[in-house]
């Protein structure tokens, strides 16, 4: 039985022809009435994020940002914020950790949450009851009246992408159309894409993903930091690619991969690996400093995840302590989340970067070196 979003897409394609891949993605996830994020609370049902695995994740991110706030002179007032706050778990853990720094909560309140899903806002309101929280539909709606200390975990991997295929010396863009059997699926444009003029020369059949939406988000964050001060920690699934990315799209439903997602719009989660290199260039264009990306496991290790886990485990019985350590290992193990996920730090021009991103014996600013390769 076809859902309302599938019927809507079919009618549009029949009337106008194949739609661009990023338009299909945007509709699947963010359609206001039938999109995946508009109609459900998927975290825990279809996928699990790091904050839901262990409280230590959010605590360490909160402490890293408050240390950055101190390193930048402790400006008052300032604002703690999160884009895509999920169930509110990360912010709840981060806010609790801020209590160890005198007056930090007073200085960084109210907390700004950027969230478009009414279902998730309701969940967050319950999780964060008693906290000074304000909700916004977009970063641009957050008042630009003070320095911003921002967290975004698994934000960029859910933003729409475009895909291009290199064939016979030209790049052709993928679209979503209707096949001969009547199902939705990928088709190629018949003419080479103008984007090919800025694409690298690659082997025949190579696939490359680009995301103007991700670059626009990075630019918006960078401009805000450049104008008002502050810093950001961005954690996501990906790498800094030097060549074609390949087809990295994953569709998930019920914590299982969906191999043919095109007839299930609004019913599946979509992600793709983030190419950090264009994001770093976007931040550099705003004048911001960057550090990383570094593997999540290394980042959390530098922030003291083992010491924090050990401290929490002291008050637990053997089974609960074992479970806590198992969750920590899941976050840091290179064969699990420890290397797959990366952390990028961003700071306003001339201001201190968040801790945990640069080895003290290494270069002062890895991000700027990366941006100018």
Evaluate whether residue 66 is within a structural domain. Answer: yes
Please say whether the beta carbons of 239 and 202 come within 8 A: no
C-alpha angle with apex 256: 162 to 175, nearest 5 degrees?
A: 20
Evaluate whether residue 197 is within a structural domain. Answer: no
Band of the pLDDT at 359, cuts 50, 70, 90? very low
Q: Render 284-332 in DSSP notation, one character per residue.
A: HHTT-EEEEEEEHHHHHHHTTHHHHHHHHHTTS-HHHHHHHHHHHHHHH
Q: Give how many domains the chain has, as a whole number.
A: 1
Question: Is the pLDDT score of 115 beyond 90?
Answer: yes
Average pLDDT over the chain reads: 90
- pLDDT at 254 (0 to 100): 78
Q: In DSSP terms, which residues pair with 178 in a beta bridge?
A: 184
Band of the pLDDT at 25, cuts 50, 70, 90? very high
Whole-number Å distance between alpha carbons of 88 and 111: 11
Cis upstream peptide for 160 (omega within 30°) = no
Question: Is the pLDDT score of 1 beyond 60?
Answer: no
Read off the pLDDT of residues 250-281 as tens digits, 9 standing for 90 and up.
Answer: 998 877 888 888 888 888 889 999 999 999 99
Which of 87-96, 140-149, 263-272, 359-368 shows the lowest mean pLDDT across its residues? Answer: 359-368
Whole-number Å distance between alpha carbons of 268 and 253: 5
Cis upstream peptide for 119 (omega within 30°) = no
Whole-number Å distance between alpha carbons of 172 and 196: 8
Evaluate whether residue 138 is within a structural domain. Answer: yes
Taking the model in full, what pTM does it have? Answer: 0.91
The distance from CA 192 to its chain's CA centroid, rounded to whole angstroms, is 31
What is the rounded radius of gyration, in angstroms, for the C-alpha atoms of the chain?
21
Count how many Cα atoms sit within 13 Å of the Cα of residue 287 in the half-sphere of its side chain.
12
Q: Which residues of 94-127 are buried (b: 16+ CB within 10 A; e: fewer)?
A: bbebbeebeebbebbbebbbbbbbeebeebbeeb
- pLDDT at 364 (0 to 100): 37
Q: The domain that contains 154 carries what CATH number? A: 3.40.50.150
Encoding tokens for residue 63?
């402490």
- pLDDT at 42 (0 to 100): 60
Whole-number Å distance between alpha carbons of 275 and 239: 5
Question: Is the pLDDT score of 220 beyond 70?
Answer: yes
Evaluate whether residue 318 is within a structural domain. Answer: no
Whole-number Å distance between alpha carbons of 273 and 259: 17
- pLDDT at 327 (0 to 100): 95
- pLDDT at 162 (0 to 100): 96
| Mean pLDDT in residue range 108-118 | 94
- pLDDT at 180 (0 to 100): 72
Q: In terms of Cα–Cα distance, which of 299, 152, 134, 310 is closest to 218?
A: 152
Evaluate whether residue 94 is within a structural domain. Answer: yes
Q: In terms of Cα–Cα distance, which of 257, 232, 271, 277 is closest to 373?
A: 277
Please say whether the beta carbons of 356 and 302 come within 8 A: yes
Q: Which residues contact 342 (CB under 8 A, 6 or more apart)?
A: 235, 236, 237, 238, 239, 274, 276, 292, 293, 294, 295, 296
Band of the pLDDT at 369, cuts 50, 70, 90? very low
SS3 category, 9 = helix
- pLDDT at 2 (0 to 100): 62
Which of 28-32, 143-147, 158-162, 226-230 shows the lowest mean pLDDT across its residues? Answer: 28-32
| Mean pLDDT in residue range 148-176 | 95
If you ran DSSP here, which 8-state letter would residue 43 be given? B
Kind and range of the H or E run holding 250: strand 250-253
Evaluate whether residue 174 is within a structural domain. Answer: no
Which of 42-51, 160-169, 293-302 shows the lowest mean pLDDT across its residues? Answer: 42-51
Question: Is the pLDDT score of 366 beyond 50?
Answer: no
Evaluate whether residue 87 is within a structural domain. Answer: yes
Question: Is the pLDDT score of 62 beyond 80?
Answer: yes
Please give the residue range of the domain that contains residue 151. 39-160+210-303+341-360
- Tokens 């401290």 belong to 311
Please say whether the beta carbons of 263 and 225 come within 8 A: no
Please say whether the beta carbons of 245 and 276 come within 8 A: no
Evaluate whether residue 112 is within a structural domain. Answer: yes
Whole-number Å distance between alpha carbons of 76 and 98: 15
């Amino acid at each position: 039985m076809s859902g309302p979003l599938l019927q809507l897409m079919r009618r549009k394609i029949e009337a106008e022809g194949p739609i661009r891949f990023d338009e299909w993605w945007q509709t699947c996830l963010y359609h206001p009435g039938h999109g995946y994020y508009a109609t459900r609370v998927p975290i825990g049902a279809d996928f699990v994020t790091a904050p839901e695995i262990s409280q230590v994740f959010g605590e360490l991110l909160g402490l890293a940002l408050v240390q950055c706030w101190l390193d930048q002179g402790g400006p008052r007032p300032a604002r703690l914020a999160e884009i895509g706050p999920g169930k509110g778990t990360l912010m709840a853990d981060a806010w609790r950790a801020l209590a160890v720094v005198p007056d930090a909560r007073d200085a960084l309140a109210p907390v700004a949450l950027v969230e478009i899903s009414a279902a998730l806002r309701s969940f967050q309101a319950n999780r964060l009851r008693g906290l000074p929280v304000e909700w916004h539909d977009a970063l641009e709606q957050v008042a630009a009246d003070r320095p911003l200390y921002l967290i975004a975990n698994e934000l960029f991997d859910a933003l729409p992408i475009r895909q291009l295929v290199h064939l016979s010396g030209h790049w052709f863009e993928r679209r979503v159309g209707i096949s001969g059997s009547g199902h939705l699926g990928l088709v190629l444009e018949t003419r080479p894409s103008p984007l090919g003029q800025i694409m690298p020369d690659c082997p025949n059949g190579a696939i490359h993903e680009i995301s103007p939406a991700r670059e626009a988000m990075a630019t918006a964050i960078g401009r805000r930091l450049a104008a008002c001060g502050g810093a950001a920690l961005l954690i996501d699934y990906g790498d800094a690619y030097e060549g074609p990315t390949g087809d990295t799209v994953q569709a998930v439903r019920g914590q299982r991969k969906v191999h043919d997602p095109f007839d299930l719009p609004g019913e599946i989660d979509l992600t793709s690996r983030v190419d950090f290199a264009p994001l770093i260039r976007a931040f550099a264009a705003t004048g911001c400093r960057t550090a990383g990306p570094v593997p999540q496991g290394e980042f959390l290790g530098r922030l003291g995840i083992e010491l924090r886990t050990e401290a929490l485990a002291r008050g637990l019985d053997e089974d609960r302590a074992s479970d806590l350590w198992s969750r920590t290992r899941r976050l840091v193990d290179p064969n699990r989340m420890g290397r797959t996920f990366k952390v990028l730090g961003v700071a306003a021009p001339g201001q201190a970067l968040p801790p945990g991103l640069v080895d003290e014996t290494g270069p002062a600013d890895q991000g700027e070196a990366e941006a100018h390769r």
